[in-house]
Homo-oligomer: A and B are copies of this chain.
Amino acid sequence: MKGFGRRGVLGAAVGLAGAVRATGLANADEKPPSQPPLIKTASLPPDPTLPFHGPNQNGIVTPMQAHTSFAAFDLLADKAADVAALMRAWTDAAAQLTQGLPLAASGDPAAMPGDSGEADGLPPNRLTLTFGFGPGLFSADGVDRYGLARYRPEAFVDLPRFVGDQLVPERTGGDLSVQVCGDDKQAVFHALRAIMRVADGVARVRWVQSGFLPGSAPKTTPRNLMGFKDGTANLDLSDPDAVTRHLWVGEEGGAWMRGGSYAVVRPIRIALEHWDRMKLAFQEQTVGREKASGAAIGAKKEFAAADLDAVDGDGNPMIAENAHIRLASPKTNDGAQILRRGYGYDNGVSMVAERWPPWRHQMELDAGLLFVCYQRDPRAGFIRIFDRMARFDMMNQFVTPVGGGLFACPGGVAPGRYLGQNLFEA
């Protein structure tokens, strides 16, 4: 596994020089003309730079940023060494990007710029990059193409087909994945573009879905595109036992997955026009929460635990049997918990033939939830929870999973090492 040069992967375009990003400071003494329509921004936090290295990958327990782009790639390489070289190049690039450094800003006019430049002068804005391996790294069409099949952990199953899935191939699967997150949309775009360039010739982008969150005040729960607070009940990261049990892979995954986590990603289109025609009480029954306060039905406060056993005067459950929060609750799923880290998405509009009254055939919002969750074992996490939800959740009449996949995100790295090194050099 040694002796392969990363030049072959990087090509001429991308060296990873440590030059500080050019910021045009040489022009700081100049004044622009009055009132050009330039962007005004809120003042930035003092150091929006997050560490890249550590025992776990960044972007998993990082407090959620305002923007994301999730991308999946198909591997083109014939040899494991080329994939390993790509992982080293990606690791080095991610370390640079998260610290606000450009890729090879040589400034040589006779050379291709190593960095595309649109993030020059921008702080990192809490940029994180989280990488994962799809099933195709271990076997494709039944072939162990890189000699890695024996290192595939038992927990890394193929995601089953769930009731209601309408997955389309061009938005599904992939051999490698990266989730870029950050507070500046252009910095996120720039980072993904750089990652795509670094992959040139070794892996080819298969699908991309971007997403966003509202800029809620700190410590308030953001609302999703259905208008409900989303994230009130999530894995409690302040509980080390819960994190160990539910989030990080231990010894069972082999050295390369220790400290890693499995990501399930699912772009889920929501029929927002349909949802918007539902009465408030019906929306609340569907979710199992009050829309305004976020409190579980029957509770008074947002963070009060939902009482799934509460019944009304007629003995009927206060929170419906098929309400979303009941079916998602650890109590309904043998204690299963996942760390949700989803974003809204907005792909503009596309043609829809409505399957509901008033049965229109027209352009509708192509928007919804880019569902992302992390867990120690998908069999005991998403698959256990979602199998029941897919069949019974009242919300299903409004939502359609259209793509996604399951990716094994290896443990974090120390400086000088690369993501997945324990797999490729096992």
Is there a chain B Cβ closer than 8 Å to A161's Cβ? no
CA distance A367 to B193 in the complex (A): 11
Shortest CB distance A195–B (Å): 12
- Judged by a CB distance under 8 angstroms, whether A357 is at the interface is no
Q: Does A301 contact B (CB under 8 A)?
A: yes
User: Do B44 and A64 touch (CB < 8 A)?
Assistant: no
The reply on A423 being an interface residue by CB < 8 A is no
Interface centre among A220, A238, A275 (most CB of B within 10 A): A220
Q: Which of A362-399 contact B (CB under 8 A)?
A: 362-365, 367
Known: A236-B34, A283-B113, A363-B205. A184 touches B42 (CB 8 A): no
Interface of A, secondary structure class, is loop
Interchain nearest-CB distance for A333 vs B (Å): 19
Contact A236 B33 (CB under 8 A): yes
Q: Restricting to A214-230, which residues have a CB under 8 Å from any CB of B?
A: 214-229
Contact for A280 among B40, B107, B302, B365, CB less than 8 A: B107
- A119 at the A/B interface (Cβ < 8 Å)? yes
> Is the Cβ of B45 less than 8 Å from the Cβ of A348?
no
A117-B228, A213-B186, A292-B120 as given contacts; A112 in contact with B222, CB under 8 Å:
no
Q: Is A272 an interface residue (CB 8 A)?
A: yes
Q: Indicate if A26 sits at the interface (CB-CB under 8 A).
A: yes
Does A61 belong to the interface (CB within 8 Å)? yes
A residues 183-237 near B (Cβ < 8 Å) are: 183-187, 189, 193, 196-197, 204-210, 212-229, 231-232, 234, 236-237
Q: Is the beta-carbon distance between A121 and B223 smaller than 8 angstroms?
A: yes
Alpha-carbon separation in the docked complex, A232 to B33 (Å): 9
Q: Does B295 lie within 8 Å of A27, measured CB to CB?
A: yes
A38 to chain B, nearest CB (A): 6
Q: List 12 A-B contacts (CB under 8 A).
A: A26-B293, A36-B236, A38-B218, A39-B214, A40-B65, A42-B43, A109-B280, A112-B278, A118-B227, A120-B227, A207-B363, A347-B348
The residue on B at minimum CB distance from A37 is B64
Q: Mark A253-294, 1 if CB is under 8 A from B, else 0.
A: 000000000000000000011011111110110000001111
Contact with B along A295-326 (1 / 0, CB 8 A): 10000011110000000000000000000000
**Smallest Cβ-Cβ distance to A115: which chain B residue:** B227
Given contacts A24-B292, A214-B39, A367-B189, contact A348 B225 (CB under 8 A): no
The CA-CA distance from A295 to B65 in the complex, in Å, is 34
Query: Which residues from B are CB-within-8-Å of A63?
Result: 35, 37-40
Q: Copy number in this complex? A: 2
Interfacial chain B residues near A39, Cβ < 8 Å: 63-66, 213-216, 218, 222
- In the complex formed, the residue of B with least CB distance to A106 is B280
Query: How far, in whole Å, are A277 and B323 apart by their CA atoms in the complex?
Result: 52
Contact B214 A186, beta carbon cutoff 8 Å: yes
Residues of the B chain whose Cβ atoms lie less than 8 Å from the Cβ of A363: 204-207
Question: Which residues of chain B are within 8 angstroms of A65 by Cβ–Cβ distance?
Answer: 39-40
- A225 smallest CB distance to B (angstroms): 5
Q: Which of A34, A125, A193, A363 has the most CB of B within 10 A?
A: A363
Complex Cα distance, B67 from A280, in Å, reads 30
User: Which residues of B sit under 8 angstroms from A116, Cβ to Cβ?
Assistant: 225-227, 272, 275-276
Bound-complex Cα distance A184 to B415 (A):
35
Of the listed stretches A86-94, A134-142, A338-346, chain B binds A338-346
Once the chains bind, are A36 and B237 in contact (CB under 8 Å)?
yes
A-B CB proximity, top 4 nearest: A117-B227, A34-B238, A109-B281, A186-B214
Q: What residues of B have a CB within 8 angstroms of the CB of A367 in the complex?
A: 189
Are B349 and A38 in contact, with the CB atoms below 8 A?
Answer: no
A251 in contact (CB, < 8 A): no
Give the nearest-CB partner of A363 in chain B.
B205
